[in-house]
Amino acid sequence: MDKFEELANIIIDEVCEVVENQHPEINLNSEEAKESDVESPALIVGVQYYDLESSIADKIRRLKK
């Protein structure tokens, strides 16, 4: 992971935290979430997360140039 992907990761995490705080009905720490097969419940997971991270990292790279 390069510095641009790390920054994208931080941005995504901060946005997800704001969404979770503003929408308490999205309770990723509920018993139901803990009992599910998902190891780390999150708003964005899997391929969609990595695609978003890559897209943000690419935009940051272009801004730097």
pLDDT tens per residue across span 26-59: 877 777 766 777 677 788 888 999 999 999 999 9
Nearest to 43 by CA among 12, 7, 8, 16: 16
Query: Backbone phi, then psi, for 2, in 5-degree steps?
Result: -90, 180
Contact 19, 43 (CB under 8 A): yes
Residues 33, 39, 43, 47, Cα dihedral to 10°: -140
pLDDT digits over 20-32, tens only?
889 888 877 777 7
- Domain spans in the chain, listed from the N-terminal domain onward: 3-64
Q: 13: which DSSP letter? A: H
User: Can you tell me the distance from the alpha carbon of 52 to that of 31, in angstroms, rounded to the nearest whole number?
Assistant: 28
